[in-house]
Amino acid sequence: MENSANITPPAIEELTRRLIIAATNIDECYYANSRKLGCKQSELNLMFALACRETCSQKQIIDEWQMPKTTLNTVTKQWEAAGYITLQPIPGKRREMQICLTPAGRTYIDHCLTPFYQAEQLAMQQTLQHFAPDFINAIESYSANLTAAFDRVGTGNTNNAREAADNQ
């Protein structure tokens, strides 16, 4: 493994771009295939959030899946009307609700996610033929480090960038 101290800033930029492009391509795979399934990406995210557990709070989904609260509320209303979930108050939490999967919801999710699970299994098996499972740890670490770096550095705003470009 190459020592990170020996990697030049241009090489770091190239690695970062490759990672961003790969992440974008992964996201696009899910987006395109959710469309083929006939659902929105937000619905697919809710399916994955509920697939491994029968219940979770709205806050958990918002935090884990980076889903806007209004988007989650829209999907949960649709799913509640379809009979896929029920919403239960959480004791001690005034406005937060627990999302509970119904048997019909479990059947719906299992049916919809089967091709995604099959594709994920195949892709992961092929990837693990060439890379150790630790590559996931590296991506998770990068994600946490990037979040912390943006917290330290900030982003400014596009008005300042446009102003600087206009003054050239």
pLDDT digits (tens, 9 = 90+) for 108-117: 999 999 999 9
- Alpha-carbon gap, residue 139 to 131, rounded angstroms: 13
- Mean pLDDT (whole number) for 130-158: 88
DSSP 3: -
> Which residue in 65, 137, 126, 63 sits closest to 96, CA to CA?
63
Length of the chain counted residue by residue: 168
* CA distances from residue 158 to 61, 155, 161 in whole angstroms, order as listed: 29, 9, 5
pLDDT at 52 over 90: no
Mean pLDDT of the chain: 90
Given pLDDT bands bounded at 50, 70 and 90, which one contains residue 158?
A: low
- Alpha-carbon gap, residue 21 to 27, rounded angstroms: 10
Contact status, residue 72 vs residue 60, Cβ threshold 8 Å: no
Q: What pTM value is reported for the model?
A: 0.80
pLDDT at 2 over 60: no
Which residue ranges form the domains of the chain, and what is each CATH number?
Answer: 39-130 (1.10.10.10)
- Mean pLDDT (whole number) for 57-69: 92
pLDDT at 101 over 70: yes
Antiparallel, parallel or unpaired: β 85-89 and 55-57: unpaired
